[in-house]
Structure 1
Amino acid sequence: MTTGPLIRPRRLRTSAAMRRLVAETAIRPEKLVLPMFVREGATGPQEIPSMPGVVHHSLDSLKAAVAEAATLGLGGVMLFGIPEKKDAIGSGATDEQGILNVATRVAVAEAGDALVVQTDLCLDEFTDHGHCGVLDAEGRVDNDASLLRYREMAIAQAVSGSQLLGLSGMMDGQVTAVREELDSHGLIDTAILGYGAKYASAFYGPFRDAVQSSLEGDRATYQQHPANRREGLREVMLDIEQGADIVMVKPAMSYLDVLADVADVSDIPVWAYQVSGEYSMIEAAAAQGWIDRERAIEESVLSIFRAGADAVLTYWAAEIAGGKR
């Protein structure tokens, strides 16, 4: 009986240099986006208890952090604003002097052309009920009334200098509404990041602490059910049809199947958000000595790129790129 030569894949694992050379996936700083929280009234960076190493920035500390992100060669920063006062319609989101719009101008002035300043276009940080839209008389999230507020937010953020609007509210038709509004005001170069596949996840818990959310109940009527894979792809394709420039899958690690599905068919960039719960779980386990922190961070981010992400939003972006923790 004739047999062929023994195939030995291990030859390509014989040294660290060889393993690096044949690695199929790499993490590059310019493909990372750093989410940042800016709190109105903050006098300096203050650590968020449920997210060790992540802070609420003041405007001054934001400026320094954006400068570091640019020096490290990150691709961008995603800004979230936390106002001192909230109301039913999230008035602070469209106030020219609202914290997010002010922070955007600060970040743009500091970053110049070195990185892309992005903003979260959602009402949840600004509403006293904590939902991502406005409520009707029965207390339900009113999709179309929310779109009117999104249109106003889009102009406020774009005029403040945001280059990429992150539409994370999961209202039907949000990409169409915002694209129409931007174009009608001549803001044709402002890009849209459509959060097409955003799931109603338990892994957002620390984020809600970070934005000091006042949410009661849940967001299951507009964010997607974790059981649904095909629906994630459907939502993303709708965003693409409506004119999104980039699409998002969120969370990342628990939805790598959805991410791979989207990456297989999308003809525009596909991003993924490594959310707060994913971050905090690794930090908590590492603090107990249960896992190797640095290896776990690298492996977790590699898995997202391996599944097909073109860029990743992660709270470790600066650290991965060589910054101080």
Structure 2
Amino acid sequence: MFAAVAEQAERNPARTTVVVVTWRGREHVGGCLDALAAQDRPHRTLVVDNASDDGTADLLAAHPSRPRVLRLGRNLGYAGGLAVALSHVDTPWVAWLNDDAAPEPGWLGALEDALDADPRVAAAGSLLLRADGSVQSAGVRLTPDGHGADLPEPPPGGEPFGFCGGAVLMRVDALRAVGGVPADFFCYYEDTDTAWRLRLAGRRIVTVPAARVGHRHGASTHPGSTQFHLWNERNRLLTLLRCAPAEVAARELTRFAVITALLPARRALGREVPDARNFRVSLRLRVLGEVLARLPETLSARRRIGRRRVVGRGAVWHRWAGR
């Protein structure tokens, strides 16, 4: 299999670099690389190893597909790893693929065909499937309070607000033109933020149902953990401050602060409070502290995004929020 892939790559130059970011991925990244080697389109594979200490480096070095590996000195997270990788990509298209994902053989071909079909499409997302075959994500919708939420089925017309960053193909020039990847997000919402900036730039995003990917969601990040909720809550607010209309960003930041302030009183009065970690006051105070500490940098990024946009922030919000 691997020799055939090498021969095909020599005959047909690759248009896509597939970036796989891993951290302590020894138990699953091999399956991801095996699935990439079985793709029916030539491509380059670039693995960013976030300073894994579990034997991942040895597995990558021994894998017969011989991926190019960037081994980082410390863990920069998924977003940080993608940002580092972007400067090493010299193909016109780049795919993001989670290390716990295994695309079907026609995955890359289906995504490339979608970009070929319409030059206005900047990003083509995949159909991510759980182990039982149910859909984890068919794209991302924008909720009325500014959350990026996975769609359980492809949207009408095949065009969602955004894509799931676990398996997506993008035009490199479009990604760079909107500012690349928000590296300091570390993990989560880098996809929603990137999709939002592409929308502000007037670009299209589609879901390609034929691009099917099995996904062991959360193999490295433990959904439901304190860190998971910290990244999610913080990065949602940062995305709103960077991309949303000013009144929406101010409203949601204020709402988050007010709910945080009222939680102790609600508990003291015996009123029901959700048991999820993101309703713990200590975590919410950490979120607010990190958002406020980054506010000058975030507002500077907002101005840069504003200078690049060709569609109004309000127009994007009213077109997509709540759908």
TM-score range, shorter chain: under 0.3
TM-score by length of 2: 0.23
Q: TM-score, normalised by structure 1?
A: 0.23
